[in-house]
Structure 1
């Protein structure tokens, strides 16, 4: 899965099995998922065709799912919890039957690096909605959501299916609920101006010293430079992970008896030249980037240097 923001639109690109409660949603194989910012009084005869126009204009082929919101993408919260990545835009200011002064849209996209059975993806919609409601109540709101909220759950359709269910008692459900519970509150705070929101925020669940969320930023990182001086940190959390490319990493055994992809010596994504190429061509493949590195005589794998 790769994601990027362009023209007021969050794009997720990949080879997904997905379920969506948004316009034109359902259960299907899709290659693109978007969340698009529209004007507050947006009206369109066919939201599905409007979304398709955005997808095709970007040059995306294949099927797609899309969500719409009046919330600015600079308030987007991206949250990484183990194998789950959650994308949230949230506002609570859209007309609602109980209180016409309380409108907005809370859009949530859940992506799992693990494979999911269809029933698990459907379960993630329930889990994400429950966590969203808990977040709203914890903030003092007396409603469970807005009238235009939507959720998408997805995974790579080629992955081996691992999770059959996704309630909050399961690992995948718990990881999702943790991210949504924290992320909805952060997204609303950013939308309401209670927290700075000059650009999207990336949060990672750290397990050091007990589980807690940290907002990652390349500016002022205490570990810089973790690979080499002059490195670029834009893709510190690599969009290709786990790439399974043995030139860039390797599998190691975990204390639980399984295996995990390790790429601590990979420096491909830290070269400024590679970052520039990714920004210009966000759908570039690992092979393409390795060729760029070869042409520019850049090392792609080395022991950490300072």
Structure 2
């Protein structure tokens, strides 16, 4: 019997974002929701749903510049539930207006970025660190690949996305590596029986290169004045 190799999956659907609108304390705020559905593994530094695991949605929510809530994880979970997102997901937040997001794709890799650059600087700074997050300015990056990756490659993909972010900021004319609260989420497919699982996602690997170009394009668009 000849083994049947499943055909490659060439689309992620990340660019089919739903824009959500709400009013909090008299301020109109927005959010972007990607209903990924089943069959996705994600790695993220997000406050909600961070780490590595199967996730069904990603919410990128705008909050006020004077955000003072001490329960951001619960806040994001409530927003997702109110929007009808079910199951485990990833929740990010930013003070940037997410309606001004950037999008890009390259060979099946798709990226969406929002850029709040009011509080920015270089990662290697002499300033002392703090035990709690800084004010929400934040560059949030969500990138999706239509293929499965190993855990090690997922970590590699986060590094590649971060390198591409810094390159995009420099190309957009900013003298910085990001903000103190930047977050990233990389989504990949859950492997199907007989499907190859990619072991590399560095910038010169097949999917790492595509991811890097997609992230660069999305961040540069979002960061442009």
Question: Normalized against structure 1, the TM-score is what?
Answer: 0.57
The unaligned stretches of length 5 or more in structure 2 are 1-11, 22-29, 128-135
Could you tell me which of 62, 65, 75 is aligned with 1:50?
Answer: 75
Matched, 1:114 2:139: no
Confirm or deny: 8 A CA contact 2:113 2:139 kept in the other structure: yes
Helix, strand or coil at the partner of 1:23: coil
Matches within 5 A, 1:55-134: 55-94=80-119, 104-134=137-167
Tell me which residue corresponds to 2:202. Answer: 167
Tell me which residue corresponds to 2:47. Answer: 23
Structure having greater relative contact order (Cα 8 Å, sep ≥ 6): 2
C-alpha distance 186-95 of structure 1, shift in aligned 2 (>3 A):
closer
Query: How much does 1:140 deviate?
Result: 3.6
Helix, strand or coil at the partner of 2:210: helix
Query: How much does 1:5 deviate?
Result: 1.7
Query: How much does 1:183 deviate?
Result: 2.2
C-alpha distance 54-158 of structure 1, shift in aligned 2 (>3 A):
farther
Helix, strand or coil at the partner of 2:54: strand
Matches within 5 A, 1:189-200: 189=224, 192=225
Query: How much does 1:182 deviate?
Result: 2.4
Query: How much does 1:150 deviate?
Result: 0.3
Question: What is the distance in 1 between the residues matched to 2:77 and 2:171?
Answer: 37
Query: How much does 1:98 deviate?
Result: 7.4
RMSD: 2.2
Question: What is the distance in 1 between the residues matched to 2:221 and 2:54?
Answer: 31
Question: What is the distance in 2 between the residues matched to 1:115 and 1:56?
Answer: 28
Tell me which residue corresponds to 1:256. Answer: none
Tell me which residue corresponds to 2:179. Answer: 146
C-alpha distance 49-137 of structure 1, shift in aligned 2 (>3 A):
same
Query: How much does 1:139 deviate?
Result: 3.3
Query: How much does 1:158 deviate?
Result: 4.7
Question: What is the distance in 2 between the residues matched to 1:130 and 1:109?
Answer: 14
Tell me which residue corresponds to 1:275. Answer: none
C-alpha distance 166-42 of structure 1, shift in aligned 2 (>3 A):
same
C-alpha distance 41-12 of structure 1, shift in aligned 2 (>3 A):
same
C-alpha distance 37-161 of structure 1, shift in aligned 2 (>3 A):
farther
After superposition, what is the alpha-carbon deviation per residue over 1:209-252, rounded to whole angstroms, capped at 9, x for unaligned? xxxxxxxxxxxxxxxxxxxxxxxxxxxxxxxxxxxxxxxxxxxx
C-alpha distance 165-113 of structure 1, shift in aligned 2 (>3 A):
same
Question: What is the distance in 1 between the residues matched to 2:221 and 2:203?
Answer: 21
Question: Normalized against structure 2, the TM-score is what?
Answer: 0.76
Larger radius of gyration: 1
After superposition, what is the alpha-carbon deviation per residue over 1:157-199, rounded to whole angstroms, capped at 9, x for unaligned? 254343211000101111111122222221111xx3xxxxxxx
C-alpha distance 60-120 of structure 1, shift in aligned 2 (>3 A):
same
Confirm or deny: 8 A CA contact 2:146 2:189 kept in the other structure: yes
Tell me which residue corresponds to 2:63. Answer: 38
Matches within 5 A, 1:240-279: none
Could you tell me which of 1, 8, 20 is aligned with 1:6?
Answer: 20
After superposition, what is the alpha-carbon deviation per residue over 1:259-290, rounded to whole angstroms, capped at 9, x for unaligned? xxxxxxxxxxxxxxxxxxxxxxxxxxxxxxxx
More displaced 10-residue stretch of structure 1: 155-164 or 61-70: 155-164
Misfit runs of 4+, over 3 Å:
95-99, 158-162
Matches within 5 A, 1:220-235: none
